């Protein structure tokens, strides 16, 4: 399971437009615009829901800053928007992992625009065609998602709106 921050609808539309442009350039699966707070947590769905329900009020209103387009060699962070999050999100993330007895993995906050194995050159060419203005918003929409990375499917099980 994962806990995501969902951008406000206006910013979601801008990220979707960039994602659609990337799909034209390099393909890849459809992605729901989000910033992952915590992911890859194996737990019973009711326990994960309860943990997220307790956590969401603590991170509601946290400031999210979306900045530049970047590329990486990782499948799930292949072409993305860099994101800065405040300390509240970092603390909540560690708390959520610890509550399930999991050591938090390295965290690079981002909003993915493309998942895949395109060449670095193809990703850089796609990135050059995108204009990433600085976007800021307060975290007020969250989603609990079921991850099926093997089949490139993500299902939003529940949303939390502040």
pLDDT tens-digit series, residues 66-97: 988 999 998 888 999 999 999 999 999 999 99
Residues ≥6 apart with Cβ < 8 Å to 17: none
Instruction: Report which of 118, 144, 94 is spatially closest to residue 25, judged by C-alpha positions.
Output: 118
Residue 62 in contact with residue 85, Cβ under 8 Å?
A: yes
CA dihedral 105→86→144→108, nearest 10 degrees, is: -30
How many Å apart are CA 63 and CA 70, to the nearest integer? 21
Mean pLDDT of 114-135: 90
Residue 48 — pLDDT band, cuts 50, 70, 90?
very high
Computed over every residue of the chain, the mean pLDDT equals: 91
Mean pLDDT of 9-29: 92
Instruction: Report which of 159, 154, 142 is spatially closest to residue 6, judged by C-alpha positions.
Output: 142
Residue 40 in contact with residue 2, Cβ under 8 Å?
A: yes
């Amino acid at each position: 399971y994962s806990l995501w921050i969902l951008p406000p609808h206006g910013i979601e539309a801008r990220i979707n437009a960039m994602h659609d442009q990337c799909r034209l350039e390099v393909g890849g699966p459809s992605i729901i615009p989000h910033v992952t707070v915590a992911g890859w947590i194996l737990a019973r769905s009711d326990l994960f829901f309860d943990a997220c329900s307790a956590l969401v009020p603590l991170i509601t209103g946290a400031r999210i800053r979306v900045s530049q387009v970047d590329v990486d060699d990782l499948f799930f962070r292949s072409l993305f928007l860099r994101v800065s999050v405040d300390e509240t999100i970092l603390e909540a993330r560690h708390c959520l992992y610890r509550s399930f007895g999991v050591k938090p993995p390295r965290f690079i906050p981002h909003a993915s625009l493309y998942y895949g194995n395109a060449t670095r050159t193809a990703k850089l060419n796609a990135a050059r065609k995108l204009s990433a203005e600085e976007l800021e918003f307060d975290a007020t929409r969250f989603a609990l998602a079921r991850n099926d990375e093997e089949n490139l499917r993500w299902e939003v099980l529940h949303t939390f709106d502040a």
